[in-house]
Structure 1
Amino acid sequence: MASVTLSEAEKVYIVHGIQEDLRVDGRGCEDYRCVEVETDVVSNTSGSARVKLGHTDILVGVKAEMGTPKLEKPNEGYLEFFVDCSANATPEFEGRGGDDLGTEIANTLSRIFSNKSSVDLQALCISPGEHCWTLYVDVLLLECGGNLFDAISIAVKAAVFNTRIPRVRVLVDEEGSKDIELSDDPYDCIRLSVENVPCIVTLCKIGYRHVVDATLQEEACSLASLLVSVTSKGVVTCMRKVGKGSLEPESIFEMMETGKRVGKVLHSSLQTVLHKEESLGPKRQKVGFLG
């Protein structure tokens, strides 16, 4: 993951400010930076979104392709994630430098969306055991400026919201053979509900306090972080600790409560932006919000 080098004096300045609930950029410990969301940005995809959070820039494209359901889930479609850490985002991603991070992010997203309550996967089924829709979600890191997981989860939710899947009809002839017919009408499509799709809230432990939406400089002062996957109703669906440091049980509980509180506000703001973005139609423009 991208990082910066700070002197001891700089670290002390950041840590002492956070203890007083005053960060370098003027935010409080539970404040997000302005998030810029833009949907339908890639023409050759079923859905797409671009999210800018501080200096972090994420592009997500979703492609719907017809496939075969998994044996253990014959009545469901599924999502597959691929994360590309562009070398333009940070020199540390040159060569195969970003492969491990890309795999880590993809696995985290798979864990979140494997929860049945996140997305109605049965809506992706065309013919049980035979045909289903597979959504290939491609995430591209254009610029890395801290708080990657949160920005990516916001971009993925926005892209899935923007996704339009052609409606399919299964025709059965007299002999019992099935024929699949795709609608020619671009407006005759399936839209997935993203109401229960969670967003990730990353809480970085710095000194005796924790912050959300940490910058690269703040991440350099943190030895441990907690990734909390939160739904719009404040339900935690997944949690993972990252970093070399340790977290006390009391700290984990406090961070979870903060994650649920902040996550509900984040979802509410994002939903408002997505519906406003869609209503703009051909005159769509970038919309920002504060988490």
Structure 2
Amino acid sequence: MTVLQNTPRTDPTPPARKGRRRATALSGTDRIVLILMVGIPTLLHLALVWVPTVSSVLLSFTSWDGIGDLDTIKWVGIRNYADIFTAYPRFWPAVQHNLIWLVFLLVLPTSFGLLLAVLLDRKLRFTKIYQSILYLPVVLALAMVGFIWQLMYEPNLGLVNNLLGIANDNPVDWLGDSDINIYAVLVAAGWKHTGYVMLLYLAGLKSFDPSLKEAAALDGASAWQAFWKVTFPVLKPINVIVLVITVIEGLRAFDIVYAINRGRNGLELVSVLITDNIIGESSRIGWGSALAVILLVISLGFIITYLVQVFRREDRA
């Protein structure tokens, strides 16, 4: 009689581990690369943005000509701000011009750029050519735009007066007349700004879900109702970007007016006053820094107010 012994069965495959450590430790080289990739941009940002900003805020409360040693810096408190608001005749006209600049860019070039984006999104023939032509002014510097339009506004040989037929008979001095030159320059600045806004909105429309338009059409909505009720609300992130860029462009405008007549005779802007006081003949670093802080506060006021309104509406929804 043979007795069979039960031998334990061996499984050739080892049991699975309960868990594996997926995170791998960084090597020394990886740590150095990570530190350099994060540290260098951070240091550059601090050195080129925050250090000058904080320095300008501090210098705005001082009196310094920028030539003497740091020991010659005198603390004057808010006297620079008080003098700017009450005893600087160029300040309020410059603020008015900046506000006109901002409102113009927000109303006309922004609306026209949105209109062009909607038209080009309909896949017209030669759309790429139209985009290239309309975007071409964006790649030009504002100083170059000012030079081009300076030639176009020339009273006798310029394109504008010749198209109007008044080049030889009572020509209009578009840039020399202080009553109209700000609006003539705004047309040139809007020519550049329209292409940029068009590109931003066109990118937003390209990522738009076409099924939403089809659903609106099935519900009997007209083209205008579909755009205003469906398309435009979806473009809210693009609207925020366009607003921020437009506010920055409207308040920091400098190149084009400085290239035309150094920002004088009706083209005074706050940025021009900053330049004149810091590197101009007067060389008042405290005044120039105070003007820069005022311009910064005005810019942040527009942007923060709009962002707060947007976030409140999202929280309510």
- Same fold, TM-score > 0.5, yes or no: no
Higher helix share: 2
Bigger Rg, which one: 2
Higher relative contact order (CA 8 A, sep 6+): 2
Higher strand share: 1
